[in-house]
Structure formats: structure tokens, C-alpha cells
DNA sequence: GTTGCAATTGAAAACGAATATCAATAGTAT
DNA sequence: ATACTATTGATATTCGTTTTCAATTGCAAC
């Protein structure tokens, strides 16, 4: 059993929810992906693996995985939303290429620290943030 | 004539578009607002002023004002989207209070500089960015 | 000012991602 | 094994936004 499964089982148990085969299948597939994906991507890939899990269940399970802290939803300008697993990864932010759609990840410690400082100055209790840099990637200048 | 109107007229002229009474009315009202507003807010306020401008035209005109650089759309987690005029204002980012919905504006020069630096390191041509800090405001701790 | 023509408008229909409904199914505690 | 209730899939619904299209109107050329 992978760590993410243990974490998900604990989360569901504490909430009085059930660990179903659909939820396990979605968790394992999401943990196997190393890109940013849309709900439809995930749904099609599960069907190709022979699993017939409904659209609704994919949405519902992703909401649980987000609440559990295993998955993150990216605030895309254009729908549909993109998701990625963050369990076992350090925090990062994103650059979106406006031409080719490429998503570049980065982490910058000074930006993270200044965010903390700005929040403190405004007596704002920060629980999270998202920073998106828009523009054109190396190939698309 | 206010500066924003001059800018909008030039923009429309260059694109071969027309300066209509609906577009003027929307521009003037948007410039008179000093809060972040939803499309429906704007639409209702225009109706209260006796102007019967359709929902569709409000959407269409906001898109033009964004392209023109007079208005900015905020990436809200939850729909509907919020807008604000940015013409004549210096750049700022936002904090969203998760409890009361308050939007706090801030500007932090070091964060802006580090963003530039990060983009350069990835040979990424930055055209813009959105930074949103989520959490609880002073009153909502 | 008049004319001609393409851009614009409003009303309504269409769109589409996300959510809600609900009867059948399946996980879990006893 | 049983009882209870969370969960599921199919479907319908929601709602912000976009599209459609015939009537209107800005605007430039006479
Ligand atoms: Mn990422
Ligand atoms: Mn603002
Ligand atoms: Zn690119
Ligand atoms: Zn608050």
C-alpha cells in the first residue's frame, strides 16, 4: 500500500466515509500521473484501463482528494480546471504559456517569504496562495 | 472627455470597431466604480440608471475593455468572475478572505522583481501575472 | 444631409463545466 | 449474515457565459 492510500483511508475513516474500489482506482491513477490533467483526461484514461467509473464520481472523488490534501486544483483562466497530485511533492507555482499551453513549474523562496511578510503586515492569516505567471515559453517567443 | 474614453475611442478606431452609446455608458460606469464587481452588479446598476443595456452587451463590452487594458478580470475560485478598472492605477495583487469575502489589495515591489527574475531564469517572456493570497482577514481570524 | 454597408444590438437559444437527484448497489460495523 | 447508510451511475439541472440572427445604428463616402 502506498503512503497516499494510507492517508486517504485515514481521511475517509475519520469522516465516516467509505473506501470504495472507485476511489482507490482514481487515487492510484492520479498518483501515477506526473502532468497536470483535466477531469475529462482522467475519465478517459480510466475508461481505457477498462474501468467504467462515471463522470460524477470522478468529480466527487477529486473533491475528496483535494480536501484530503493529496490533490491540488489549478486556477485556470479558461475552463476546464486542471488538477495535479501534490502528495509527496514540495510546493511550487506555475507559468502558463499563452501560445502552446505548456505549464512550467517553479519554486522561489524569496517570493514565498515576502508573501508571508505582506500577509502579516495586513494582519491577514494566510492559508494558501496561487501565483500564475502568464506569457510565452522559450519555444514560443 | 476623460482619458479612459480617449483611450477606448482610439482602441476601437484602430480595430475598425464603433464607439456606441452602450459602450460609452458601460465605460463611464466602470470608471466610476471603485470596487471589484461582478457582471450582474454592473448590469443591475446600469438598469437602475435607466439604461437598458443587455446582458450580452455588458459581457461583450467588458471583453473589449480588458483587451484595451482599461479593465482587469480577477481569477476568482468561485464564479462569477470579478472585474475592476485598472486604467490610471498602479499594479496591485489581492488577498481574498475565505469567510467574509473581503478583497484586500496590496503591492510588493520585491515580489514583482523576483517574478521577473524567475521568468528570466526559465527564458520565459512574462506578459502578466496573478497572485492571490487566500486566508482570513483581520476581522475573521 | 443622404446613402450604403458592415458593425452592433437585444432577445432568445445554445453551450458546457460542474452539481444535484434518486433508485439501485455496495462498504462497514455488529 | 444482517442492517444500515454511504456511494454509485444515469440522467436531469444549474448557471455563468457565448452564440445566433434579424433589426438597428455608427460612420464614412458621396
Ligand atoms: Mn504543478
Ligand atoms: Mn483590485
Ligand atoms: Zn509555449
Ligand atoms: Zn474576512
**Quick check: A53 CB within 7 A of strand D?**
yes
A28 touching chain B per CB within 8 A: no
Backbone angles phi, psi at B115, to 5 degrees: -60, -45
Which single residue has its CA nearest the C1' atom of nucleotide D9? A54
pLDDT beyond 90 at A8 = yes
- Give the rounded percent of residues in chain B with a pLDDT score beyond 90: 92
> Bridge partners of B132?
A130, B94
**What is the reported pTM?**
0.92
Q: A120 pLDDT exceeds 90?
A: yes
CB-proximal positions of chain C, under 7 Å = 7-12, 16-21, 26-29
HEC string of B25-91 equals HHHHHHHHCCCCEEHHHHHHHHHHCCCCCCHHHHHHHHHHHHHHCCEEEECCCCCCCEEEECCCCCC
Residue ranges covered by each domain of chain A: 3-85, 93-135
User: pLDDT tens across A57-88, in order?
Assistant: 999 999 999 999 999 999 888 889 999 999 99
Nearest bound ligand to the CA of residue A94: 1
Chain B contact for A63, CB < 8 A?
Answer: no
Give per-residue pLDDT as tens, B111-129.
999 999 999 999 999 999 9
Starting from the edge strand earliest in sequence, which strands make up the sheet with A82-85, in order? Answer: A37-38, A82-85, A71-74
Confidence of residue B80 (pLDDT cuts 50, 70, 90): very high
Round to a whole number and report the distance in Å from the CA of B65 to the C1' of D23: 26
CATH of domain B3-85: 1.10.10.10
**Position of cell 464603433?**
B18
**Best CATH choice for the domain A93-135 from the list 3.30.1490.190, 3.40.630.30, 3.90.180.10, 3.30.1330.60:** 3.30.1490.190
Instruction: Give mean pLDDT, residues B3-17.
Output: 98
Over residues A13-31, the pLDDT tens digits come to: 999 999 999 999 999 999 9
- Residue A38 C-alpha to ligand 2 middle, in angstroms? 29
Average pLDDT of B1-18? 96
B131 min Cα distance to partner chain A (Å)? 4
Query: Which residues keep their CB under 5 angstroms from ion ligand 1?
Result: A 84, 105
Amino acid at each position: 500500500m502506498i503512503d497516499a492510500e494510507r492517508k486517504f483511508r485515514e481521511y475517509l475513516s475519520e469522516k465516516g466515509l467509505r473506501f470504495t474500489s472507485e476511489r482507490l482506482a482514481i487515487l492510484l491513477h492520479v498518483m501515477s500521473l506526473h502532468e497536470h490533467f483535466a477531469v475529462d483526461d482522467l475519465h478517459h484514461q480510466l475508461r481505457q484501463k477498462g474501468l467504467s467509473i462515471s463522470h460524477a464520481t470522478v468529480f466527487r472523488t477529486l473533491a475528496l482528494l483535494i480536501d484530503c490534501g493529496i490533490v491540488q486544483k489549478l486556477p485556470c483562466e479558461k475552463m476546464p480546471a486542471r488538477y495535479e497530485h501534490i502528495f509527496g511533492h514540495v510546493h511550487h507555482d506555475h507559468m502558463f504559456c499563452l501560445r502552446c499551453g505548456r505549464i512550467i513549474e517553479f519554486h522561489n523562496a524569496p517570493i514565498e517569504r515576502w508573501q508571508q511578510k505582506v500577509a502579516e503586515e495586513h494582519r491577514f492569516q494566510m492559508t494558501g496562495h496561487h501565483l500564475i505567471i502568464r506569457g510565452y515559453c522559450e519555444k514560443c517567443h
